[in-house]
Amino acid sequence: MWDSLRQTLLAAAGATLGQLLTLVAPLLLFGWLIHLVGKVLERSAVRLLGLHVYLYAIGWIGTMVHELGHAALCPVFGHKITGMRLFSFNARHRDAGYVSHSYSRGNIWHLAGNFFISVGPLALGTLVIFVLLRFLAALPLSPLGVLTGGSGLNLDTGAGLSDWLGRSGALLWEQTGNLLAAVDWTSWRTYAALWLVLSVGSGMTLSPQDLKAAGGGLGIILLVLLVVNLIAAVLGYSAPDYTGLLRLSVTACLLMTVVLAVCSAAALVLRLLGALIGR
């Protein structure tokens, strides 16, 4: 009996860990990297160009998408928006917008929503960048196929966790190369898209308050997943196939890789220019 119970608990915990590592952790990792690079970009641009030039050139777009990312998910999870400002050119610091909201601390749906609302800027920013690259830069992107024409790599979630991660990493590496090969560097549309990617990407950062709220919401989500997986294990149900979600996660990681590359390149150029002129 105890062996059976232990195996059931291990199966539920393993399924929950797999869902965390394949669907959530990669996005949070890329989001954290974008946050770090975005802060370097912001400091370099403000030091070289001044706050207002930075805000007028790229900051206002990123800030508006950031705040809309928070606001769009508040009604979905029952949060009441109590105040919102998408952007102000009169701001004296980078945080020129805000969204404040209230919710019931005794409602599990509201508590879980804290995670999604907090990472909303990453979700909406990634969606906007997908649209920019697909329709402005005319790259052959597909939400579930990563690049149209697809990869031969199989992401069937019936494989083991290490196999999922290996295949996902291989697919991301392969499609990053394919994406670069598909770029038309002679078209003005490409450079317009890159400027907009830089602008949107500069706002895909999470404040300490966002991270704190996301952590609390993620804890609730993991607890619910563990209970669901435990019930499924007790009843003998097999793990669900979420290959489509995994492909969507890889696509999001690919788009955030583009953000990292563009923002890192811009930050490097600004820092080199600042060093040349002594700023």
Q: What is the pLDDT of residue 76?
A: 94
Crossing angle of helices 188-201 and 243-277, in 10° steps, is: 90
Q: Taking the CA atoms of 103, 104, 109 and 115 in sequence, report the sign of the dihedral they define.
A: positive
Q: What is the pLDDT of residue 153?
A: 44
Spatial CA neighbour of 63 closest among 30, 98, 20: 98
User: What span, in angstroms and rounded, lies between the C-alpha atoms of 183 and 261?
Assistant: 14
| 178: confidence class by pLDDT, cuts 50, 70, 90 | confident
Q: What mean pLDDT do residues 67-84 have?
A: 94
> pLDDT: is 137 or 154 the higher one?
137
Contacts of 11 (CB under 8 A, 6+ apart): 229, 233
Is a pLDDT exceeding 80 seen at residue 14? Answer: no
| 156: confidence class by pLDDT, cuts 50, 70, 90 | very low
Which pLDDT tens digit goes with each residue over 262-276? Answer: 999 999 999 999 888
27 to each of 60, 120, 135, 197, 256, how far by Cα in Å? 24, 12, 24, 18, 9
- Range among 48-57, 68-77, 201-210, 253-262 with highest mean pLDDT value: 68-77
Which pLDDT tens digit goes with each residue over 34-65? Answer: 989 988 998 999 889 888 888 888 888 999 99
- For the chain, give the percent of residues with pLDDT over 70: 81
Residue 12 sits at φ, ψ, to 5 deg, of -65, -45
Q: What is the pLDDT of residue 1?
A: 58
Is a pLDDT exceeding 90 seen at residue 227? Answer: no
Which pLDDT tens digit goes with each residue over 87-106? Answer: 877 766 556 788 999 999 88
